[in-house]
Amino acid sequence: MSEDPAVYQVIPGTATVGFDAERVRRDFPILHQQVNGHPLVYLDNAATTQKPESVIQAMVDYYRRDNANVHRGAHALSDRATGAFEGARRKVANFLNAPDARQILWTRGTSEAINLVAASWGRSQLQPGDRILVSAMEHHSNIVPWQMVAAERGATVEAIPVDTTGTLDLQALQGMLDARVRMVAVGHVSNALGTINPVAEIARMAHAAGALVFVDGAQAIAHWPVDVQALDCDFYSFSAHKLFGPTGIGVLYGRRTVLEAMPPYQGGGEMIESVSFAGTTYNQLPYKFEAGTPDIAGAVGLGAAIDYVNSLDREGAARHEEALLVYAQKKAQAVSGLTLVGTAHHKTGVMSFNLDGVHPADLGTLLDQQGVAVRTGNHCAQPIMDQYRIPGTVRASFSFYNTFDDVDRLFAALEKARQFLQ
């Protein structure tokens, strides 16, 4: 599958043929509750996705049956834990179409993955005058680590322009690329706008100029299959909790030759081959970058989440999500005083908006009182909010377990909020 999902033709307000969201919802126990006296409408999936029962149960089963440290234990529990832990790594490698499971590193999430590369690769490779290009729509986690290492090494971090629709300016990027650019860091999908960036094309342009490419995949991983070989990126990262898995664990995929040349990020535990006061030698990939006892239960949970996602009709799920977004945006255009923020042609899963005269935080509170969960604020993407000259937005973000009734409930709650504020 290509890096961008197809733009599906849908009939707003109708069930998506071949995908039964109501059936899928039954797998997610948290969705079946009342909030403030109303059935929950969960539209904060860009912040974190909910967990199916199979993921919850896999983690419970690990702690009840297999809890032990991995790799070094000489007993059955450790053997079972190690098998599940490394089995989850292989599942991730297959899920991303990585050439080798040794290219899959466990992290605490996308943020730590970016910090790892910025600290390890950046400190060993950047020289004064080098440049790092970062898109203007990035999450703070894909800006600040580069700024930190750039300040330390005498390099600079520069923003790739984004137009008024929220689309990355590839022509401007082409003009910025030169021999001093060492890294291009972009999100696969903008968490604030929903824009899908053409990362394969960006990688082609960056590699032609001799630069590496880091892709923050946190917002893309749950929406369609990701093929890191087809994208030809040097690094790809995501967080498990964006993929219906647990918080506190994530993944960094790296090109093997680049990872092997990078020094360790932290010291201790599994990343060591041998230690003496005369010197220390480090372990091979992937363990060179995995200091200390890992989040074993988190890896088990992520493995179960991948099993769950793989059990679904992913094309049908993508069609359903596209239908929800089309339906929601059409309803939004009919609301007087409502402004959509981020109207790129290629989008997925996110509808950010503002209502004239209403602060996003106040609107979010009024929606929550009616059981509708959204996110408000700058979404850790302050530079793009500054570009739009707004303090933030209300963000409704969709997953395959959302329904057209959820969208209708959102707009009914918006109307009640408008009446309250008048």
CB 217 within 8 A of CB 188: yes
Q: What CA–CA distance (Å, rounded) separates 65 from 276? A: 37
Which residues form the catalytic set?
Answer: 380
- In this structure, the number of other CB atoms found within 10 A of the CB of residue 402 comes to 26
268: left (phi over 0), alpha (psi -120 to 50) or beta: left
Residue 11: alpha-carbon gap to chain centroid? 28
269: left (phi over 0), alpha (psi -120 to 50) or beta: left
Residues linked to residue 286 through DSSP beta bridges, in sequence order: none
SS3 of the chain: the string is: CCCCCCCCCCCCCCCCCCCCHHHHHCCCHHHCCEECCEECEECECCCCCCCCHHHHHHHHHHHHHHCCCCCCCCCHHHHHHHHHHHHHHHHHHHHHCCCCHHHEEEECCHHHHHHHHHHHHHHHHCCCCCEEEEECCCCHHHCHHHHHHHHHHCCEEEEECECCCCCECHHHHHHHCCCCEEEEEEECECCCCCEECCHHHHHHHHHHCCCEEEEECCCCCCCCCCCHHHHCCCEEEEEHHHHCCCCCCEEEEECHHHHHHCCCCCCCHHHEEEEECCEEEECCCCHHHCCCCCCHHHHHHHHHHHHHHHCCCHHHHHHHHHHHHHHHHHHHHCCCCEEEECCCCCECCEEEEEECCCCHHHHHHHHHCCCEECEEECCCCHHHHHHHCCCCEEEEECCCCCCHHHHHHHHHHHHHHHHHHC
Nearest CA among 422, 353, 300, 398 for reference residue 21: 398
